[in-house]
Structure 1
Amino acid sequence: MELVWATEQFVIGGQSYPGFPILLNDNMESLIPANEFFRSYLLRGAIGSNRSWPCVGRALYDFLSFLQAHELDWKDVDRGEAKTLIAAYRDYSKAECGLAIATIRQRIHYICQFYAYALSRGWVNRLPFTVEDRRSNRAKGFLAHVDASSGSVSANDLMPKKQQHLPKFLNLSQIKLLLGVIKNHHHKILIRLALKTGLRREELATFPLAYVFDPKAKGITERNVKITLNPYDGTGMRTKGQKVRDIYVSSEFWQEIANYVRLYRGERSSLTGNEAKTLFVNQMGQHYSGDGKGIERIVRDWGKKANLKAHPHMLRHTYATHTLAMLQRSKGDVDPLVFLQRQLGHSSIETTSIYLHLVNEIADEAVLDYDRELNDSIEFP
């Protein structure tokens, strides 16, 4: 019997969920334990974005296919072998398939969640893994004095140790080189907004035109303006996990955004009969679809022209690294890491702390000077 992995349009309570994973056998019959787990795990909101749901389906499909190919039963948690089923799959994924550690970790996480659900349903009598304490190299934050973890974190014993790859970012000369080759007004303002705010690709693609205003016309004299990214305000704004957050942008650059809308955006938006609600539109005058994949291509293509490897998330890393370095040197009243966490929309400050390692590795002061061409000094309200 071969397994078939697919997605379906799942509807519950009048709510439609496209791309919902489903496992079938070769007779197209439902693999009930796995599919019950999908409904329990995904519909309770364990993963914020349904675009990530297929990852859960893929993890379980690969694991169960591996077991089937080796004539193993997923319920055999008390097998006499020294290596558990999940450990065997982990080692196979690394040695035979050559999967990245990050991919293996993600899949094992979902597989372990499946077994936790199976235990709750009485399908297995125990979990095929245990939890152990591991030393953490995480950076100490502003709550270090009340942290009782002693630098350790809990992890299941099957999880391969996480490899820390520092994110890549552009230095100042590379940023100037990138911006210097861009001749398209629409592309340049988009990339500059990414460099000045750290917005994700999807956030750039769905950034609403309704958020744009003319600071001078409103008599705004503050150095920075606060923009609230709200997925629930009816503008079409989308953020990761649909979380509301505020970002701060210099009023000088926001004036440039307003000028861009007045002088350039109209020529594109007029190409279609339906006025797009997004700030940025493609060459057909329509909003960027597919969570901004067109923006990915734009950044990469201009990067190639500048002989650089660039992509939207690298622009986010660039903003974060230089902004954190600047805030650390300014010695203001606001904790730099906390501000950056909120600006980027990270759920955990541990995610933001990765940029501390990048800042510490920067030796050239010229790289640290993310000057006013790219990032005006931030003053806090």
Structure 2
Amino acid sequence: MNIQWHVLNFLIYVCTEEGKANSPETWEQYGTGLYDYFGFCEANGYDWKFTTHTSKHSTIDKYRNWSMAECGLEPSTVNDRLRIIYRFYEYALEECWIQSLPWRGKKELLKDYGPGLIKKDTTGGYKRSSTGRKPSITTVRVLSRTQVDITLGAIANLELKLITRLALACGLRKQELLTFPKKYIVDPKDYPVTKMNYRIILNPREMKTKNNKSRQVDIPASLMNDLWSYIKYERQARASLCNDKEDKKLLFLTEHGKRFSNGGRGLNTLYKELSLPFKLNPHILRHTYATHTLYVLTKMNLPMVPLIYVRDRMGHSSIKTTEIYLHFIELVDDSVLDTMQNNMAEYYAEVANETSQEF
């Protein structure tokens, strides 16, 4: 429980002076990644300052293999932590805390080997499979229509089911789902019965959004109707248990009248407890929304640019990030995506008509 001042100085530099990590969520990722690495070093008696190339595998190599083989972390998570660790060592060299970097040549990430190409090496490192298979274009996970049906059918908790539907319909991030304001839900009876979707502006002053940026999302009419019914008939009992003024502004509350938290019974834990035969978390739901939406829009002759529409709904800062989903569509059989919701094409056609003026 002692402060590691090398890490502390690095975090202060990255989070305040360098200016590349502007979001508190990013600060947390840096802290978590370094805490995990230094905890690994301490538990195994490794000196992080020992960077001499005298063994086959460096401490970073052993940490990378342990994260995959023993902890079962996703390649994307391991890569994010490796980037932070590499960056820390480069900073440590600049500050003369170490005499050399603990790797030779190119910094290696798991994407250099591809999913399924990493095998555990009993010496403590990793080795590449001899299959010669090309690495996957992306590690994005997407649910099929059948998996969506299985997921919704397995959820008994009303709040969790509505959170899941909102994620699938709008591509919201986890923090956006958990801080979604109650005030954004309206009574559909106040609008024409022909209205198929509701344009909602996500305001960073009212909820958490990445980098505090505002954006617009579209909620299908059927979901808006169910969310309004939830507020009118179900949510009141939970809100009556809530003593926090800020929590009462949130749409979703736990059975104890509190906000859903990342700690304890967070969303990931609730999804894990469903014991589904496939991996599920809020980010997979977000990927599912983006891929399915982009697939539908590219199949339709609409007066809009599908990539731009999905980019803006997802809140991507670059169109290149959205293009990842195009690559993923090419790897998935059309028959899988063609089994999506029966009314999805009609819904997005209506969305396109309402938003075509934006483009």
TM-score (norm 2): 0.71
1:266 matched residue in structure 2: 236
* Residue 282 of structure 1: how far off its partner (Å): 0.9
* Residue 192 of structure 1: how far off its partner (Å): 1.4
* Residue 325 of structure 1: how far off its partner (Å): 0.9
1:54 matched residue in structure 2: 31
Aligned AA for 2:183?
A
User: Which of 147, 152, 158 is the aligned partner of 2:107?
Assistant: 158
Aligned AA for 2:142?
F
* Residue 92 of structure 1: how far off its partner (Å): 3.3
Deviation string for 1:288-336 (max 9, x for gaps)? 12379533333344464xx554333222222222111101101323322
1:278 matched residue in structure 2: 250
Secondary structure (helix, strand or coil) at the match of 1:353 reads helix
8 Å Cα contact 2:93/2:100 also seen in 1: yes
User: Which of 198, 208, 233 is the aligned partner of 1:225?
Assistant: 198
Secondary structure (helix, strand or coil) at the match of 1:92 reads helix
By percentage of residues, which structure has more strand? 1
Aligned residue runs from structure 1 range 1-381, under 5 A: 22-23=3-4, 31=5, 33-44=6-17, 45-47=19-21, 48=23, 49=25, 50-58=27-35, 61=38, 69=46, 73=50, 88-94=58-64, 102=76, 105-118=79-92, 121=95, 157-160=106-109, 162=111, 163=114, 164=136, 166-217=139-190, 222-232=195-205, 235=206, 237-274=207-244, 276-290=248-262, 293-302=265-274, 304=276, 309-365=279-335, 367-372=337-342, 376-377=347-348, 378-379=351-352, 380-381=354-355
Aligned AA for 1:332?
L
8 Å Cα contact 2:267/2:282 also seen in 1: yes
Alpha-carbon distance in 2 for matches of 1:71, 1:181:
45
Alpha-carbon distance in 2 for matches of 1:292, 1:196:
26
Secondary structure (helix, strand or coil) at the match of 2:218 reads strand
8 Å Cα contact 2:41/2:48 also seen in 1: no
Alpha-carbon distance in 2 for matches of 1:255, 1:270:
22
Alpha-carbon distance in 2 for matches of 1:311, 1:374:
22
By percentage of residues, which structure has more helix? 2
* Residue 363 of structure 1: how far off its partner (Å): 2.5
1:135 matched residue in structure 2: none
Alpha-carbon distance in 2 for matches of 1:120, 1:215:
60
* Shift in alpha-carbon separation, 1:180–1:288, aligned structure 2, 3 A: same
Alpha-carbon distance in 2 for matches of 1:71, 1:183:
47
* Residue 227 of structure 1: how far off its partner (Å): 1.2
Moved more, 38-47 or 51-60: 51-60
CA RMSD of aligned residues (A): 3.8
Identity percentage of aligned residues: 29
Name structure 1 gaps, 5 residues minimum. 7-21, 24-30, 131-155
* Residue 207 of structure 1: how far off its partner (Å): 0.6
8 Å Cα contact 2:49/2:98 also seen in 1: no
Secondary structure (helix, strand or coil) at the match of 2:268 reads helix
* Shift in alpha-carbon separation, 1:171–1:103, aligned structure 2, 3 A: closer
Name structure 2 gaps, 5 residues minimum. 115-135
* Residue 210 of structure 1: how far off its partner (Å): 1.6
Deviation string for 1:49-84 (max 9, x for gaps)? 13223234326636976998469556xxxx6x5999
Alpha-carbon distance in 2 for matches of 1:289, 1:220:
36
* Residue 280 of structure 1: how far off its partner (Å): 0.9
Alpha-carbon distance in 1 for matches of 2:263, 2:310:
24
* Residue 244 of structure 1: how far off its partner (Å): 2.0
Alpha-carbon distance in 2 for matches of 1:106, 1:297:
21
8 Å Cα contact 1:338/1:349 also seen in 2: yes
Secondary structure (helix, strand or coil) at the match of 2:216 reads strand
Secondary structure (helix, strand or coil) at the match of 1:216 reads helix
Secondary structure (helix, strand or coil) at the match of 2:58 reads helix
* Shift in alpha-carbon separation, 1:308–1:117, aligned structure 2, 3 A: closer
Aligned AA for 1:54?
G
* Residue 215 of structure 1: how far off its partner (Å): 3.9
Aligned AA for 2:307?
L
Secondary structure (helix, strand or coil) at the match of 2:172 reads coil
Alpha-carbon distance in 1 for matches of 2:264, 2:286:
14
Deviation string for 1:313-372 (max 9, x for gaps)? 222222222111101101323322232222222334343333223322332436324335
Aligned AA for 1:110?
I
Secondary structure (helix, strand or coil) at the match of 1:331 reads coil
* Shift in alpha-carbon separation, 1:300–1:94, aligned structure 2, 3 A: closer
* Residue 208 of structure 1: how far off its partner (Å): 0.7
8 Å Cα contact 2:199/2:219 also seen in 1: yes
